[in-house]
Structure 1
Amino acid sequence: MDKYEVIRTLGEGSFGRVYKAKQLSDDTFVALKVISKRGRSAKELKGFRRECEIQRHLHHPNVIRMLDSFETENEIVVITEFAQKTLSTEFAKTGFLTEDRVQKIVWDLVSALYYLHSNRILHRDLKPPNILLDTNNRAKLCDFGFARNMSTGTHVLTSIKGTPLYMAPELIDEKPYDYNADLWSLGCIMYELLMGSPPFCTKSLLQLIRLIRYEEIKWPTFSSENCMSFLKGLLQKNPLKRLTWDEILSHPFVKGHIIISKNSTDAPLTRPLSPNTLQAKEQQMKDSIKNKHIKLPCSKTPTQEQCSGTTQNKSSNSKANKTSQNSSTGENIKKSNSQDLKNNNSKQNSIFPSKEESSQKSSTTFDHKENSIPQRTPGPERIIQNHGLNHVSPKKNIEANENVSQDSNKISAKNTFSFIEDNQPIETEEWILFLQRSLQEVIAGEMVSLTQIGQTNVLVSPLRNPNANSKVLSFVARLLSIPFVVKGVSEDTLVQIKKVYLEVKLVPNLVYATKLLVREHYENQDSTSSDSSSPIDSPLPKSETYRRLSELCDEDVQALEYIFLLVSHLVHTSDDFLLQFCDAIVVLSIYPLLGILLSLTCKRKVRVVADLLAILSQLLRKLPENCDIVEKILIFTQSKDTERNKINFVDLLRHSSHLLRERTCLFILLMSKNLPENSVKLFWDTNVRETLEALVYDSIETVRNAAELTVLEIKSKSFYSEGK
């Protein structure tokens, strides 16, 4: 840093800060992007380093040039050429630009995209803030945090990337996509420069998704014929109908003004595909779609439909808990217009399955695969990868070992989970704005979005992102809980919403979000060792642990409250949700985490404990064949020498919350009925017995009843009179 003199701050985001600086050797201005390592996981830092590696090799007049990069103990510093302003500031004052000015900017952007695609690089986050203007008003692309360098054999991607306002329809519909997604984003930027706003603009995420899917674009009426022809060619909802690169280069709106640099690959994305390559691409698309429908691991004996998250054909060991919802008839729910639009804005077709076909699939993975053709490794595998609504990182396959059979026979050799994690920065403020508006819509009765898998999947995606802060997680859980608490929601709508929640694996995603929220990141973990395989029963690195209770802030606790309140409700409405909860616990092997949560007995955290007790009690009541999950929680927490994660049942029974006292009594009763006595003895002692007996005289009737029932049922057990 002694080579540079920092002048002022240019911007700040979730990644860090950007400064204007002067290079002391020649007094030229540069931009310093400083990324703090504090609070970052090794995989996050690896993602930042990958971004640097991509940008280091880019040399084009319309791409911001990277001059240098280095690391200190606490920071990653990237030095790039300095640009005077962003494209957003160019039209901020007037609200739009003239067609002549837009045309010159489009020349620059097309030149930059052609260079990237020629070198098999997708930008995936084209938007005005990521376009800079130099002193000559030449546009330059920057921010390659979501960029992907596609290998020669990869033709399509599936992970959702980018900013929603500029996101292509195929990404919204979770379809495989290629470089055409960048061209759609370019069309959105061109439209915004001409009209003052993107083609589909709203603060509501759910409304935005509907607009992109179903609404026609309102075209400018004042632009030239060439301008309109080029714009419409980019903004085709069907990616197969968008302008090809050959058509772009020969289009009169840009012809003769594109800077073409020599590419460094023998298979540029800008070249028409050969018949064999086109066939391989179509096969990858089919494989990607098929790969999204991996079945869930079975719990003991459930049917295949249970494993894939459907609500039919429940196991003989499970009984449907048909709890009625407290909802009354009211306003009719608004219906979205799903009719295919005519003209050039019709939805994608051809090799892409229709929405109806997609909705008939039995299940989806917890997230979308990054590679078009998954690696086929023998035996069980779990894919731990980085992902979100802004995501991608290398996939790694974790081979099965003896811990699978030792842990539980729930995971079969054929059916496995796919937990895919996103370690890329998330636009927190943007997400909160979208979620707030969407929450207001759902409260007002707009439930249609939650009955559609694609739109619900978008809402669920932050649950897989470790960079999604507690506030974002709270909004997601609250939003998805609304249908069960507001009046006027019909029973048919609730049934459909629950089917969608099963389909998108909401409960496992909520469990996964809990793990990401509470786990502890190690800053000094070597990046080269971060990808080393861990045992199959632990998707976390061996060095990773969970935070202490004192380290959880109020927002963390609030997020946990909303998460477990929703999970508790869902597992009590259907055994299918309960099965998914069991499977998620087994695959993630988060028994110590549940022990930590059951130790949150201070006043501000009591709701989390109460709901978790209700969930585990429901597990013992409805699926006693999975009681080993509760047993492992006791083993992890009660048999350790350390007191850090120990569950104090006396504190739970003596708690000031009568709800907690009541649920603890019933939990002890169900454990005594379903667990081996040796496991019960892990927490049972004279203090527990005496406290339980004292509750028979509690001032609250429900607590008295629960205590009386528990004492009556377990008094005959051999351990009852024993003490430690």
Structure 2
Amino acid sequence: MEKYEVIGTLGEGSFGRVYKAKELSSSNFVALKVISKRGRSSKELKGFRRECEIQRELHHPNVIQMLDSFETENEIVVITEFAPKELTDVLSKQGYLTEDKVKQIVWDLVSALYYLHSNRVLHRDLKPQNILLDLKNRAKLCDFGFARNMSTGTHVLTSIKGTPLYMAPELIDELPYDYNADLWSLGCIIYELLMGTPPFCTNSILHLIRKIKTEQIKWPTFLSPECTSFLKGLLQKNPSKRLTWNQILNHSFVKGHILISKTTGPMPLTISLSASAQEAKEQQRKDSINNKHTNKGAIPRTAKKSVEVPENEKHSREKVKEEKATLSNNKNNSLDTGQNPTGAIPKKPLTSQEQISSKEKPLEVFTEGKSHRDENGNVNEEIKKCDEVKDVGKCLKEKLNFIEDSHPIEPEEWIVFLQNSIKEVMNGEMSSLVQPNLTNIIVSPLRNTYSNSKVLSYVAKLLSIAFVVKGTSKETIENIKKVYLEVKLLPNLIYATKLLLRTRKHLSSSESSNSSSEGVIAPSRNDFTCKSLNEFDSDELQALEHILMLACHLVHLEDEFVSQFCDAVVVLNMFGSINLLLGLVKRKPRIPMDIISILTQILRNLPENVEIVEKIALHHTDSGSELHLGEFLRNSDASIKERTCHFILLMGKYFSHDTLEKIWSLEIQDTLEALMFDSVEHVRNMELPHTTLWQFDIGLMNTFQGCGLAGVVQLNDPTTRFLPLT
């Protein structure tokens, strides 16, 4: 850094800051991009280093030249040439540009993109913000954070990158894509330069996605035929119908004005594929689509109407139903005073010596309440298949849709999208929530390490609204529920909870380089420490409240959500984290109240997962166990007392004797006896007909008061949609 004099700040984003500086030896201006290593996972740091490697090899007049890069103990510093103007600034001042001015920029951008594709580099984030202008008004591409250098054997990509306004339809549809996605983004930029807005423009991300998928582009009539033809050739929704590079270079709008570099890589993307390469590309495309469907896991039980169930599975289900219907209460325990609410048969509790650590053997005991064999001794083929490749943990991670996304996002941009989408859904527009690929995009911030608490809170709000908006049909609710099961919403809510509970710690350079970047779940456990209760700020507590309120509602809708919750807790090792949140009973009582309700639902409907609930209840921190049932029973909130009473009742049915001895106390017993004279009738009589799920309605109504739309929330009859607890 001693070689440069920092003059001022050019910009700031989630990655770090960019400074204008002067090189002391030459007095030339340069740009310094400073990326802090603090709080970065090894995966993120590897991505930044890959960006440097890609940009270091790029040498073209229309690509920002990287001059140098180095690392300190705390930072990665990238030095590039300096360009004084941003294309977005020009647009904001002038609104739009004439065709003649746009033509000059198009020539530069096509030249830059042809150079990248000639060297098998995809930019994947083309937008006006990533285009700079030098002193000669020459356009230059910058920001290669999402760029990918494709190996000669790779023909298609699948990971979704880019900005929604400029994202190609094939990415919206989660289909494999190639360099054609960059050409669509280029067309969007040219359209915006000429018209002042992108071809599809809205503040609602749901509406935007729907426009890109279904609406036709409105073509201006004042452009020259050559310009219109060029635009239409780039903005074809079917990527196979877009202009090829040969057609682009020979198009009258740009012909003779493209600067073609002599430097090209092997098998450039700008030439036509051979027959064998085209065949390999098609096979990769098919394999990617098949793998995507496979990784989504089994079809949710609620969506299997058209799927034939194997005879052995039918028999297994019928047997479980019969056992549930005929089960009598024969457990000898002083707390077992009533009949089993569900009639499910509990597994024999493990002794302390038999309890298995989730780190050592997570699926044998915990996977969806199943071991490798069902009640009839039949092998569970899904688990067996995972075992055969000796990668059971990874198989379940993929099944739960824990797909890592550690690339920087713009929280402010997401919040604007989500706020407008909330208003749209509250006004009855539900169509986007019944489409898995669109819902998956909304869910994605829940597993992004750069999502802040406000973004996570808004995501949870948006995904909750359909359950409380007046006039939503039962069919729509059922379809939304199926989509939430398919995209694994519940596990991703738990993943977001873990992100909120973690505070990032600094990684040294040696730790970063030695850390493994493999795996599905990010960030690495070694990159974080867990917060203490007093470290949560108000925004984080609000996000946790919204997330767990939605999670609680989901587990009461369908047993499949309960199974997904159990799987997520094991895979993410969330036993201690959930226990920690129970300690918020005084500061934020809604959070532990919903957790108690979730744990109760596990014992009530899937008691074979009792070990998970026991591990949460018995988890000890440095200050001891956070499960103080006496505090719950004495809480002034009647709902907390009611839920805790039900939880204690089911503890007595399914917890092992050893576990009960560790939890039970005279304080709890005395408090329970006192509750026999409680002022609240439901507490006295242990009756909870609809309270738990009704409060989901009430909580959301309070949440949306600020939107001015709370009047559309239906609260007068909570029994019309929500299942009773008992």
The bucket for the TM-score relative to the shorter chain is 0.7 to 0.9
The 1:644/1:216 distance shift into structure 2, 3 A limit, reads farther
Cα distance, 1:644 vs structure 2: 5.7
Corresponding residue SS for 2:22: strand
CA distance in 2, matches of 1:270, 1:318: 61
Deviations 1:648-667 (A, max 9, x none): 22222222322222212211
- Give the aligned partner of residue 334 of structure 2: none
Question: Is residue 366–residue 612 contact of structure 2 (8 Å, CA) maintained in 1?
Answer: no
CA distance in 1, matches of 2:598, 2:507: 36
- Give the aligned partner of residue 425 of structure 1: 408
- Give the aligned partner of residue 656 of structure 1: 636
Letter in 2 for 1:483: A
Check if 1:80 corresponds to 2:80.
Answer: yes
Select which of 505, 521, 531 maps to 2:488: 505
Percent of residue pairs bearing the same amino acid type:
61
**After superposition, where does 1:325-724 map in structure 2 within 5 Å?**
404-405=363-364, 410=371, 412-414=383-385, 416-417=395-396, 418=398, 419-524=402-507, 526-531=511-516, 540-542=524-526, 544-603=528-587, 605-635=588-618, 637-638=619-620, 642-643=622-623, 646-706=626-686
CA distance in 2, matches of 1:579, 1:468: 26
CA distance in 1, matches of 2:522, 2:496: 16
- Give the aligned partner of residue 213 of structure 1: 213
Cα distance, 1:70 vs structure 2: 2.1
The 1:565/1:30 distance shift into structure 2, 3 A limit, reads same
Letter in 2 for 1:701: E
CA distance in 2, matches of 1:291, 1:425: 26
Q: Which moved more, 1:121-130 or 1:3-12?
A: 3-12
CA distance in 1, matches of 2:518, 2:212: 40
Cα distance, 1:166 vs structure 2: 0.5
Q: Which moved more, 1:178-187 or 1:404-413?
A: 404-413
Corresponding residue SS for 1:221: coil
- Give the aligned partner of residue 368 of structure 1: none
CA distance in 2, matches of 1:147, 1:503: 30
The 1:255/1:410 distance shift into structure 2, 3 A limit, reads farther
Question: Is residue 42–residue 523 contact of structure 1 (8 Å, CA) maintained in 2?
Answer: no
CA distance in 1, matches of 2:371, 2:536: 32
Corresponding residue SS for 1:93: helix
- Give the aligned partner of residue 197 of structure 2: 197
CA distance in 1, matches of 2:203, 2:218: 18
- Give the aligned partner of residue 714 of structure 1: none
CA distance in 1, matches of 2:653, 2:523: 32
Cα distance, 1:404 vs structure 2: 4.5
Letter in 2 for 1:193: L
Letter in 2 for 1:163: T
Deviations 1:584-621 (A, max 9, x none): 22222221111112222223x21111111111111110
- Give the aligned partner of residue 42 of structure 1: 42
Check if 1:31 corresponds to 2:31.
Answer: yes
Question: Is residue 6–residue 21 contact of structure 1 (8 Å, CA) maintained in 2?
Answer: yes
Cα distance, 1:539 vs structure 2: 8.4
Matched residue pairs, number?
A: 618
Question: Is residue 188–residue 198 contact of structure 2 (8 Å, CA) maintained in 1?
Answer: yes
Corresponding residue SS for 2:258: coil
The 1:644/1:134 distance shift into structure 2, 3 A limit, reads farther
Q: Which moved more, 1:259-268 or 1:179-188?
A: 259-268
The 1:541/1:277 distance shift into structure 2, 3 A limit, reads same
Deviations 1:198-225 (A, max 9, x none): 1111111111111111111111211112
- Give the aligned partner of residue 174 of structure 1: 174
- Give the aligned partner of residue 60 of structure 1: 60
Gaps of 5+ in 1: 298-303, 320-399, 709-724
Letter in 1 for 2:513: T
- Give the aligned partner of residue 105 of structure 1: 105
CA distance in 2, matches of 1:655, 1:13: 44
Cα distance, 1:633 vs structure 2: 1.5
Corresponding residue SS for 2:385: coil
Q: Which moved more, 1:650-659 or 1:78-87?
A: 650-659
CA distance in 1, matches of 2:681, 2:472: 33
Cα distance, 1:68 vs structure 2: 1.4
Q: Which moved more, 1:642-651 or 1:7-16?
A: 642-651
Deviations 1:546-601 (A, max 9, x none): 22112211111111111111111111111122222222222222211111122222
Q: CA RMSD in A?
A: 2.5
Question: Is residue 41–residue 523 contact of structure 2 (8 Å, CA) maintained in 1?
Answer: no
CA distance in 2, matches of 1:78, 1:538: 25
Gaps of 5+ in 2: 323-358, 373-382, 387-394, 689-726
Q: Which moved more, 1:409-418 or 1:173-182?
A: 409-418
The 1:70/1:172 distance shift into structure 2, 3 A limit, reads same
Question: Is residue 42–residue 515 contact of structure 2 (8 Å, CA) maintained in 1?
Answer: yes
CA distance in 1, matches of 2:174, 2:443: 13
**TM-score of the superposition, structure 1-length normalised?**
0.81
- Give the aligned partner of residue 120 of structure 1: 120
Higher helix share: 2
Question: Is residue 440–residue 487 contact of structure 2 (8 Å, CA) maintained in 1?
Answer: yes
Deviations 1:232-264 (A, max 9, x none): 100000000001111111112112221222345
- Give the aligned partner of residue 393 of structure 1: none
CA distance in 1, matches of 2:266, 2:652: 67
Cα distance, 1:72 vs structure 2: 2.7
CA distance in 2, matches of 1:318, 1:32: 66
Letter in 2 for 1:138: R
The 1:479/1:2 distance shift into structure 2, 3 A limit, reads same
Letter in 1 for 2:634: R
Deviations 1:520-547 (A, max 9, x none): 322225112321779x999843564422
The 1:516/1:644 distance shift into structure 2, 3 A limit, reads farther
- Give the aligned partner of residue 692 of structure 2: none
CA distance in 1, matches of 2:268, 2:462: 43
- Give the aligned partner of residue 342 of structure 2: none
Cα distance, 1:93 vs structure 2: 2.2
Question: Is residue 42–residue 524 contact of structure 2 (8 Å, CA) maintained in 1?
Answer: no
The 1:539/1:669 distance shift into structure 2, 3 A limit, reads farther
Letter in 1 for 2:432: S
- Give the aligned partner of residue 226 of structure 1: 226
The 1:182/1:308 distance shift into structure 2, 3 A limit, reads farther
The 1:519/1:307 distance shift into structure 2, 3 A limit, reads farther
The 1:227/1:645 distance shift into structure 2, 3 A limit, reads farther
**TM-score of the superposition, structure 2-length normalised?**
0.81
CA distance in 2, matches of 1:79, 1:683: 59
CA distance in 2, matches of 1:206, 1:403: 37
Q: Which moved more, 1:681-690 or 1:77-86?
A: 681-690
CA distance in 2, matches of 1:173, 1:515: 29
Question: Is residue 632–residue 641 contact of structure 2 (8 Å, CA) maintained in 1?
Answer: yes
The 1:658/1:318 distance shift into structure 2, 3 A limit, reads farther
Deviations 1:326-371 (A, max 9, x none): xxxxxxxxxxxxxxxxxxxxxxxxxxxxxxxxxxxxxxxxxxxxxx
Corresponding residue SS for 1:524: coil
Q: Which moved more, 1:468-477 or 1:538-547?
A: 538-547
